[in-house]
Every structure is written in structure tokens, then in C-alpha cells.
């Protein structure tokens, strides 16, 4: 009988120990979840702060384009400035039209002026890429070559035929690239896909990638 009672007591002690172990593990898991939640929230706050200079730059680009009556499409999320082919080139041509040159003489000083208007803007923008884009009409290789030659024509005109106050510092940030029909509508020949895009590369986007890597 004593052995039976002793066995019951031992069983209760073991159950209590097991409960304590499970409780400790549960507390540990809750603590870890809380830690990672706080870490994630901190990362999100850091990302939001890093986005502030980017949004201000884009807002200034939009504002300056409007106030100077420069007819371009500015993406409010990325700051991409799209210039339609018809403004700059004849269809299938890589030579800038006279009206295309006149457009660049108006656009570039204003656009570049935004970049170098404040030290924080200049620091935030690590690179400006002039991208040539085509529609899906025609051969892939031909379209890629056409887009690259067009972006090169724009680049060459800016830095060999134009003079503006921020020309020297802009030359240190800018490069030309051809994207061909990569971003075009593959189902139809959309004239809107034939364009030249001035695309910012933001330092804050690079920092965001680093922050996300370290927080995961």
C-alpha cells in the first residue's frame, strides 16, 4: 500500500516537472516571438525613415516638371521620367529630331537641377540611368540594339552638345542602357512602350536591402 502511495506521489511530481518544462519552453517561445516582432517593427521603421529623402526627391521632380510646363510622365513611386519616342525620334530612327533636341535643352537643366539642388538629394541619388525602350514589334535583337543606340544618342547630345550649370556633376552619375522590349506589352505593338526613361537609383533602396538582410 505504501509503495502504491509512494508511486502516486512520484507520478504527481513527474507530472509537475513536465508541466514546468512545458511552461518554460512556452515562455521561451513567447519571448522569442516578441523579440522577432520588435526586430521586424524596428526594421519597418528604419525603412520608412530611409524612404523619406526618396519621396522628397520624387515630389520635387514632379513639382518642377509641372511648374516648367515640361510634358513628361513621372512615376510617383519610383521617380521614373518617361519621354515618348515621338518627342525625341522618328519611328525606327536613332537620330534625335530637332524638336527632340529642343525638348532635352528644356528638360535636362530642370531635371538635373533637382538632383543637385540640395546636398541630401545629391547623396540620395546614387545613379541616373537613361534607358531606351521599344515596343514588342520586330526582332528582339534589333529592338535591343535600337534602344541602346537611342539612349546613347540622348547621352551624347546632353554631354557633347549642351551646356548647363550641373553638367559636370551629372556626368559622374549618369549612364546609358538599352532595355529593348523587355518591359513592353507582348500581345500588341503599343506605341506607349517606345520611350526613353530617366531612372533614378536611390541609395535608400540599397540600404533597405541591407536592413532586410540583417533583420531576417
- 134: cell is 521599344
Q: Identify the DSSP state of 51.
A: H
Q: Identify the DSSP state of 97.
A: P
Q: What is the mean pLDDT of residues 58-78?
A: 95
* Packing angle, helices 98-115 and 2-67, rounded to 10: 130
Q: Please give the residue range of the domain that contains residue 93.
A: 51-215
Phi, psi of 125 (to 5 degrees): -90, 105
CATH of the domain at 136: 3.30.1330.60
DSSP notation for 33-46? HHHHHHHHHHHHHH
What's the total number of domains in the chain? 1
- Quick: pLDDT tens for 81-102: 999 999 999 988 999 999 999 9
User: Which of helix, strand or coil describes residue 69?
Assistant: coil
| Number of Cβ within a 10 Å radius of residue 152 | 16
Alpha helices in the chain (DSSP H): 2-67, 85-88, 98-115, 119-124, 140-160, 167-171, 203-215
pLDDT at 205 (0 to 100): 76
pLDDT at 52 (0 to 100): 75
Query: Does any domain span residue 94?
Result: yes
Q: What is the mean pLDDT of residues 9-23?
A: 56
Query: Does any domain span residue 1?
Result: no
Query: Does any domain span residue 6?
Result: no
What confidence category does residue 43 fall into, taking pLDDT thresholds of 50, 70 and 90?
A: very low
pTM of the full structure: 0.73
- Quick: pLDDT tens for 28-39: 666 666 655 554
User: Of 59, 106, 114, which is closest to residue 83 (Cα–Cα)?
Assistant: 106
Query: Does any domain span residue 174?
Result: yes
Query: Does any domain span residue 8?
Result: no
Amino acid at each position: 500500500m505504501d509503495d502504491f502511495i509512494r508511486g502516486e506521489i512520484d507520478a504527481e511530481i513527474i507530472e509537475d516537472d513536465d508541466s514546468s518544462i512545458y511552461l518554460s519552453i512556452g515562455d521561451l517561445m513567447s519571448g522569442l516571438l516578441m523579440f522577432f516582432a520588435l526586430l521586424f517593427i524596428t526594421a519597418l521603421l528604419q525603412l520608412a525613415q530611409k524612404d523619406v529623402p526618396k519621396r522628397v526627391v520624387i515630389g520635387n521632380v514632379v513639382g518642377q516638371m509641372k511648374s516648367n510646363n515640361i510634358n513628361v510622365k513621372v512615376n510617383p513611386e519610383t521617380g521614373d521620367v518617361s519621354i515618348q519616342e515621338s518627342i525625341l525620334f522618328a519611328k525606327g530612327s536613332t537620330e534625335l529630331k530637332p524638336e527632340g533636341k529642343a525638348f532635352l535643352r528644356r528638360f535636362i537643366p530642370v531635371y538635373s537641377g533637382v538632383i543637385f539642388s540640395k546636398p541630401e538629394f545629391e547623396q540620395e541619388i546614387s545613379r541616373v540611368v537613361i534607358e531606351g525602350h521599344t515596343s514588342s514589334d520586330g526582332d528582339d535583337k534589333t529592338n535591343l540594339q535600337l534602344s541602346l543606340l537611342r539612349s546613347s544618342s540622348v547621352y551624347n547630345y546632353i554631354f557633347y552638345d549642351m551646356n548647363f550649370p550641373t553638367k559636370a556633376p551629372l556626368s559622374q552619375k549618369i549612364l546609358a542602357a538599352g532595355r529593348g522590349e523587355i518591359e513592353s506589352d507582348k500581345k500588341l505593338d503599343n506605341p506607349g512602350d517606345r520611350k526613353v526613361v530617366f531612372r533614378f537609383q536611390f541609395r535608400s533602396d540599397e540600404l533597405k536591402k541591407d536592413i532586410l538582410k540583417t533583420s531576417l
